[in-house]
Amino acid sequence: MAEEKGKFIGIISDDRGTSKAGKDFRRVTFSIEIGDKYPRNGHFYTNDEKLIQTISNLRSDELISVKFNIDSKLFNGKSYTNLNAWQITI
Q: For 62, left (φ over 0), alpha (ψ -120 to 50), or beta?
A: beta
- pTM beyond 0.85: the answer is yes
3-state secondary structure of 50: helix
**Domains in the chain with CATH codes:** 2-89 (2.40.50.140)
The per-residue pLDDT for 70 is 96
The per-residue pLDDT for 36 is 83
Alpha-carbon dihedral angle through residues 72, 73, 78, 79, given to the nearest 10 degrees = 10
Residue 47 sits at the vertex; the CA angle it makes with 43 and 50, to the nearest 5 degrees, is 105
Q: What is the pLDDT along the chain (90 residues), one digit of tens a residue?
A: 899 999 999 999 999 999 899 999 999 999 999 988 899 999 999 999 999 999 999 999 999 999 999 999 999 999 999 999 999 999
Single-letter code of the amino acid located at 20: K
* Nearest in space to 16 (alpha carbons), one of 51, 52, 41, 44: 52
